[in-house]
Amino acid sequence: MKKLKIIFISVFLAITNFLIAENFSLEGYYYCGGPPDPACLIFQKNNKLKIEWINERDSAIDDSKIYSYKKKYIGRFPLFVLNEDIPHNLRRGVFRDDKTYYGNKFMLLTGQSAATELFDEDVIALCLLPNRKGIFGEEFFWRTPTGGSDEYWIHHYKSATSFLSENGRDYRIQNLTDILPDTPWVEGVDGWGIGESFVMVGGKSESTGHILLMNGYISATNPHLYEENGRIKKIEVKGIKSGKKKNFIIKDTPHPQSVDINFLDDAEDIKITILDVYKGAKYQDTALHFMILWRSEVIPYE
């Protein structure tokens, strides 16, 4: 990507790690892979984590184990380091002969989704395995509220003013509906992309009064791409039909977060325009990993 020299970046990165604070406790929350669900991670008191994995014959809990963990960071990504390796047979509920080495570390990007009349309070998550034993980092599993991995609204986008095409890859606007790593939309103009825009087709409805997003470039293989590229800092949200608009500040975090768009009328397309960015430490490109319409407020973990 387009390089931009920034002085004192090592000092900046060191300082930001000291400024990170938790917005909610993970205690009591569980994260299940799937579908179907081959395993669950369940956070407990005193930095304990219970892992349950599933028997493929009857879909019952086949075994479980409690681990202790320490939390560190790779850039802005929380890294949970267990006292022992994750079991090799963790995914045998899906892959009978799977003997993948998972190691003893995973990264967790997560947000707390507020309760509504139809849904209890729950969590949204993208769980990632970092590089390990010569294997590139990859997605571990991801989760949306009510337990499934595909229970969210798929959206269409149009009228993107630009996208980055580089090294045989296109970072198109359609990537915004894909939560998996290394699938952002990246603006493609010179500079930081201020003024670039796109339209979310279909827009707000009675059941989707928020925008759920994950900021920046999210990669399991190289988590530092989040800080090295630009992230969105301020956006304008405008109803195409009503003309109503409002500006929002977006948090500089890779964790899921939301903005409240209930000021808009129902059933209209929404135009999103970049007004300001958090500048990248290495590349003059601004990335947005994920953006869909959502049902309630989402509080980022950090």
Kindly give, in sequence order, each residue whose CB lies less than 8 Å from that of residue 270, ignoring residues fewer than 6 positions away.
199, 200, 203, 204, 211, 237, 238, 239, 240, 261, 264
Q: Mean pLDDT of all residues in the chain?
A: 86
Can you read off the two tokens belonging to residue 79? 């890294």
pLDDT for the residue 21 = 83
In the chain, residues under CATH classification 2.60.120.260 are 156-300
Among 114, 139, 124, 141, smallest CA distance to 51 is for 141
Question: What whole-number distance in Å separates Cα of residue 216 and Cα of residue 107?
Answer: 16
What local confidence, expressed as pLDDT, does residue 265 receive? 82
For the structural domain made of 15-143, what CATH number should be given?
2.40.128
CATH 2.40.128 placement within the chain: 15-143
With a cut of 50, list the residues of the chain below it in pLDDT: 3-18, 146-151
Which fold does the domain 156-300 belong to in CATH? Jelly Rolls (2.60.120)
Query: Counting Cβ atoms within 10 Å, is residue 69 exposed (0-12), middle (13-18) or buried (19+)?
Result: middle
Global pTM reads: 0.89
Per-residue pLDDT of 43-65, as tens digits, reads 999 999 999 887 655 556 667 89
Q: What is the pLDDT of residue 152?
A: 54
- Contact between residue 186 and residue 171 where contact means Cβ atoms under 8 Å apart: yes
The residues, any chain, with a CB within 8 Å of residue 26's CB and separated by 6 or more, are: 43, 110, 301
Q: Whose CA is closest to 181, among 129, 220, 123?
A: 220
